[in-house]
Amino acid sequence: MEEYSAGVLTFSQTQYILFMNENDVVMYTLLVDEERLNREMADSRKRTTGGASLYHSNALHFSELREFLEHIPVIESHEHFAAFHAADDPLDFILDTFYLGDFYSAGGEQVTGRGDYSFFTPIPHQLPEHERYTLFQQIYRRSDKTAYARAMQEGLRLCWGVEDIGEWEEYQKFSEKFRSRDASLYDKVMEMCRIKAQIVDRGDLDSYMDGTLPYSPFCRFTFHISGWRNVHTKEQLAGMEKYLGRAITCLDDYTEAFDQYLQKCLDFGVVCLKDLNAYRRTLEIGNPTRAEAEKAFNDVVSHQRVIFGDKQVRPLEDWMFHYALRRAAALDLPVQLHTGHMAGIRLRHLHRLYALQQNAVVQQLRMNGDDPVGIDHARAGLRVRKV
């Protein structure tokens, strides 16, 4: 029979009995403070949506951690809305989120007439609102416990004060609040969520840089490299000539146009580069030579009416990826990579991430002390900043 020595440890107001056996193996048990436990559980139950707690935990320190996190300022790293957007229909507002996939999985295509996860199709607007809600409700009841549904519900609770949309009367209350909202809501929500800045992915930045489109002071923008890589026609190359101010006839002209436009965007306030090509191809990035890239470029630029396939332009596409990453490293910029998760066929490219980590450019950056590739839901954050 083993002998034990024992002692009492107090950590964060919670007591533990520590046991140590003759082999110096430490074990412990918790001295449960029943009053404290009940207080913690009661507090977690306050954070409910539709009767189910989104933040429920029986862990004794859960509320302490949440209270700490509630006061940490946030930089949102993935946003698509640069300013307040008016939305006319409350049901469209609810469904045009990541919850849409769960809605379809529960049979939502029966009421929308379409089950495409990639594109939002509303419940027909020509129907009376109560009939549209009834159709929504019969699917919602089958899918309101999923993670995306609960996140959507928590958003409604925090932003609109709506505890449940599972009943017509409650939905009407939300609908009335939704239709009466104005642009002031944007800043209120940002302040409530302690968001100090957001990295916004809007693709073409020209309309923001020339003042045509408004944007919030919270916005910091991404620079898309996808369009510079995904080139299949001479017409696409000609579209980049506006950034250079002259005809693009060789690869040097093309990279010069890239550099000039990137600098213009940096002067505007771009904070990172972003690549979205996982929507259309694998993440297996090759390591072609410049000569191979130039051959592919010359083929495109010398054929006015030819549309080149992926295989033919792959050397140019992959070489431009390397070029963009090297520019990012030189400018001390991070790079966001979409991995294909949630893009059409879900998870189709996520297994390719290991291949990307073995990429020669990434390996070089990692050897220089940079952070590795990491997955974050719908994208990977590739840190190329030298430290």
pLDDT in tens, 344-379: 444 444 555 555 555 555 555 444 334 433 333 333
Looking at residues 284-303, what average pLDDT do you find? Answer: 94
pLDDT at 121 over 50: yes
Residue 346 or 134, more confident: 134
Q: Rounded distance, CA 41 to CA 62, Å?
A: 9
Look at residue 164 in the predicted model and tell me its pLDDT: 86
Residue 379 or 11, more confident: 11
Looking at residues 49-74, what average pLDDT do you find? Answer: 72
For the ranges 110-114, 137-141, 349-353, the lowest mean pLDDT is seen at: 349-353
Counting residues of the chain whose pLDDT is more than 70, the rounded percentage is 71
Looking at residues 162-177, what average pLDDT do you find? Answer: 90
Look at residue 26 in the predicted model and tell me its pLDDT: 43
Strands in 373-376's sheet, in edge-to-edge order, are: 74-79, 195-200, 219-224, 272-275, 335-338, 379-382, 373-376
Q: Rounded distance, CA 114 to CA 121, Å?
A: 7
For residue 133, what are the contacts with CB-CB under 8 A and spacing of at least 6?
91, 168, 171
Looking at residues 297-316, what average pLDDT do you find? Answer: 94
Confidence of residue 292 (pLDDT cuts 50, 70, 90): very high
For the ranges 2-6, 190-194, 348-352, 360-364, the lowest mean pLDDT is seen at: 2-6
pLDDT at 253 over 80: yes
Look at residue 59 in the predicted model and tell me its pLDDT: 78
For the chain, the average pLDDT equals: 77
Residue 43 or 151, more confident: 151
Look at residue 185 in the predicted model and tell me its pLDDT: 82
Question: What's the gap between Cα 289 and its chain centre?
Answer: 33
Look at residue 207 in the predicted model and tell me its pLDDT: 93
Looking at residues 47-71, what average pLDDT do you find? Answer: 68
pLDDT at 268 over 50: yes
For the ranges 33-37, 69-73, 238-242, 291-295, the lowest mean pLDDT is seen at: 33-37
Look at residue 46 in the predicted model and tell me its pLDDT: 47
| Residue ranges of E strands in 22-151 | 26-31, 48-49, 52-53, 74-79
Counting residues of the chain whose pLDDT is more than 90, the rounded percentage is 40
Looking at residues 105-128, what average pLDDT do you find? Answer: 78
Residue 356 or 276, more confident: 276
pLDDT at 80 over 50: yes
Look at residue 308 in the predicted model and tell me its pLDDT: 94
Question: What's the gap between Cα 269 and its chain centre?
Answer: 20
Look at residue 361 in the predicted model and tell me its pLDDT: 55
| Residue ranges of E strands in the chain | 4-11, 14-21, 26-31, 48-49, 52-53, 74-79, 195-200, 219-224, 272-275, 335-338, 373-376, 379-382
Residue 262 or 202, more confident: 262
Look at residue 35 in the predicted model and tell me its pLDDT: 54
Looking at residues 54-80, what average pLDDT do you find? Answer: 81
